Structure 1
Amino acid sequence: MNARNLRLWQKSSLILEQVLIGSRFYSTKSNPTVDLRKLRPVILKRIEERAKEYPVRGMLPLAHEVLQARTALYDGVSTLIHHIPIWACKYCSEVYIGEGGHLIRTCHGFHRHAKNKVHSWVKANTNNVVIPVETFHLQKMFQDVIKHHERFDYDRVPAIVELCLQAGADSNHQNGLEKNNNILNSLSEDELRFVATQTLRAWEALRSGVHRLLFVYPARVCKHCSEVHVGPSGHKARMCGVFKYQSFRGAHFWEKAKVDDLVPPNMVWSRRRQDPQILVDKGREYYGHAPAVVDLCSKAGALVPSKYFCMMKLDGLTAPN
């Protein structure tokens, strides 16, 4: 070993010695074990004290605004689908807004066993555009976790409505949806554009309001399926069966829910002016996407916010012939 390597070895040894001297080692035997039975009353007391802080009075107007936006959204979509052709695949969840459906081979069948099949189109309804998400209705936000055998003792309500109810909204708005009995059979171009604009505003207000409510009121979503639970912890109803090796009614794996979990955007292929009348499979890399509500409102004449331009590829190239 030459002199240079010897000095480097001595220097590294000195640094290692200083690190070991400065470190402290603790023995687990000297630390007392934690008795969870003694901590349980303390934890329960903190939960009860936390429950007194809810609902937050400052969020009550926002909860009412979200319910109103949801009602306006459903009313607008139910009106527009009578004037704009909307199609849903008979065998999968694909939706298309336009004349006659598209020819893009993305059908995967009922149980996702098929692959790259042509869709079989049927007339769509409101639930194909605005995907309904339901959850258990709780009497109070901080209550005992719902057991599997108790799953039929609780009503299922829309997740957005449950979020607003826990935020203090009036229980009379539990349904959160008024039936629109005044659907016009014929609308002028200006009237249709007005309905589309109001519907798009309701969509943006709904998503923005839910996003703000989730900062205050917790919600959970299963990592493996679309089940949503509004509350500080998920339920224990065994209804998850996403994997082949997992039996039906398996336990959910809960994580923090986001806006897209309560208000799914339901992305659809969006036909641009430079695209052919019927979208074909070979041009799928050139076509854009958009949330179903946004694409529906744009087809009815509403101005689309600029944040959707990128995904819609409005100024993108057209597919080669």
Structure 2
Amino acid sequence: MSFRNRKLLQSSSSIILRGFRFYNTKSNPKVDFNKLRPMILKRIEDRAQEYPVKTMLPLAHEVLNARATLYDGVSTLIQHIPIWACKDCPEVYIGEGGHLIRTCHGYKHHAKNKVHSWVKGSVDNVIVPVETFHLHKMFQNVINHHERFDYDRIPAIVELCLHAGADSNHQTDSSTLLTPSSPEPLSGDELRILATRTLKAWETLRTGVHKLLLVYPARVCKHCSEVHVGPSGHKARMCGVFKFESWRGTHFWQKAGVDDLIPPKLVWYRRRQDPPILVDEGREYYGRAPVLLDLCSKAGAIVPSKYFCMMKMDGMTAPIKQ
């Protein structure tokens, strides 16, 4: 081997080995986890002293106020705008009557592509209730399966705000936020103002929850809609309640996002160029929209431009069969 080739081989070997360190495992002592456990627990206790973050307290109050405004607005709007819910699946539609799109899969997904069975909808069909265990303190022992009845279930957004230092005496039951069942007559302008305020509260709520999740951890199960607000998920074996696939299984936790605490729940959106009743043949042309956005837009609120793409506002209409 020539001197030049030998130098090239040495330089290439140094490049490959650069950045790596080799340790002699026999000389290194083994890690004693029994000694590390008290240190880890002490660090968790010290971390708890840093919460709640005082600068996040006004944001928590803003989120709770937006939530109350949202429930008040939706409960009033559904008394003036028709809302329909399928009694066999979670499908919802806003309009004078239900659509004819065959997307119903039945109660336990046993059916396939059948027509929906429409009934009058409620507030829970617009604002999907997401509940979680109410912790006595943010950093506490993990809830075991046999302890699941020792903790109350409250809205996940309220639990997140309580972790942020909000007043614990705040209304935690969604039913207490609803207005009386007797509707009051509203003019077109009053209905439009209410819809605009409700849509603004929804946007404020989602933005505030997004900021709170950057500071306070929350978990969601990968296989179902269970949410847990806290540094680690609980051990209650409830997975499968929503999908009936792994009954009474353990949850597979991952980081939660805004859509996990505030599900947008997309619905079919009827545009100006669409027929009065949406049929199954034109489903590829129809747009989709969050149910609350559709409700507020039909009451006169202006739709933000960021939703135009998913709503297909200027899209083509379905061809009419001769």
Corresponding residue for 2:284? Answer: 285
Structure 2 unmatched runs, 5+: none
User: Is 166-175 or 261-270 further displaced after alignment?
Assistant: 166-175
Corresponding residue for 1:228? Answer: 227
Corresponding residue for 2:191? Answer: 192
Change (3 A) 1:16 1:295: same
Q: Structure 1 residue 184: deviation in Å? A: 3.4
1:123-134 → structure 2 map (5 Å cutoff): 123-134=120-131
Change (3 A) 1:8 1:234: farther
CA distance in 1: counterparts of 2:153 and 2:211, whole angstroms: 23
Normalising by the residue count of structure 1, what TM-score does the alignment of the two structures yield? 0.92
Corresponding residue for 1:77? Answer: 74
Question: What whole-Å deviation, never above 9, does each CA across 1:233-255 have from its counterpart, x for those lacking one?
Answer: 00000100279996421110000
1:92 to 85, 89, 106: 89
For residue 74 of structure 1, give the secondary structure of its aligned residue in structure 2: helix
CA distance in 1: counterparts of 2:31 and 2:219, whole angstroms: 29
Change (3 A) 1:187 1:8: farther
Corresponding residue for 1:42? Answer: 39
- Asked if the contact 1:220/1:234 (under 8 Å) is kept, the reply is yes
Corresponding residue for 2:166? Answer: 169
Corresponding residue for 2:258? Answer: 259
CA distance in 2: counterparts of 1:114 and 1:35, whole angstroms: 56
Question: What whole-Å deviation, never above 9, does each CA across 1:34-70 have from its counterpart, x for those lacking one?
Answer: 1111001111111111100111111111111111111
For residue 65 of structure 2, give the secondary structure of its aligned residue in structure 1: helix
Q: Structure 1 residue 18: deviation in Å? A: 4.0
CA distance in 2: counterparts of 1:244 and 1:302, whole angstroms: 35
Q: Structure 1 residue 159: deviation in Å? A: 0.2
Count of aligned positions: 317
CA distance in 2: counterparts of 1:169 and 1:133, whole angstroms: 19
Change (3 A) 1:316 1:8: farther
Normalising by the residue count of structure 2, what TM-score does the alignment of the two structures yield? 0.92
Question: What whole-Å deviation, never above 9, does each CA across 1:153-173 have from its counterpart, x for those lacking one?
Answer: 000000000001111111111
CA distance in 1: counterparts of 2:243 and 2:199, whole angstroms: 40
Q: Structure 1 residue 33: deviation in Å? A: 1.3
CA distance in 2: counterparts of 1:314 and 1:21, whole angstroms: 57
Q: Which amino acid counterpart does residue 25 of structure 1 have in structure 2?
A: F
- Asked if the contact 1:88/1:123 (under 8 Å) is kept, the reply is yes
CA distance in 1: counterparts of 2:230 and 2:26, whole angstroms: 39
Q: Percent identity?
A: 72
Q: Which amino acid counterpart does residue 160 of structure 2 have in structure 1?
A: L
Q: Aligned Cα RMSD in Å?
A: 2.3
CA distance in 2: counterparts of 1:113 and 1:216, whole angstroms: 41
CA distance in 1: counterparts of 2:88 and 2:245, whole angstroms: 24
CA distance in 2: counterparts of 1:32 and 1:203, whole angstroms: 56
Q: Which amino acid counterpart does residue 207 of structure 2 have in structure 1?
A: S
CA distance in 2: counterparts of 1:279 and 1:270, whole angstroms: 9
Corresponding residue for 1:160? Answer: 157
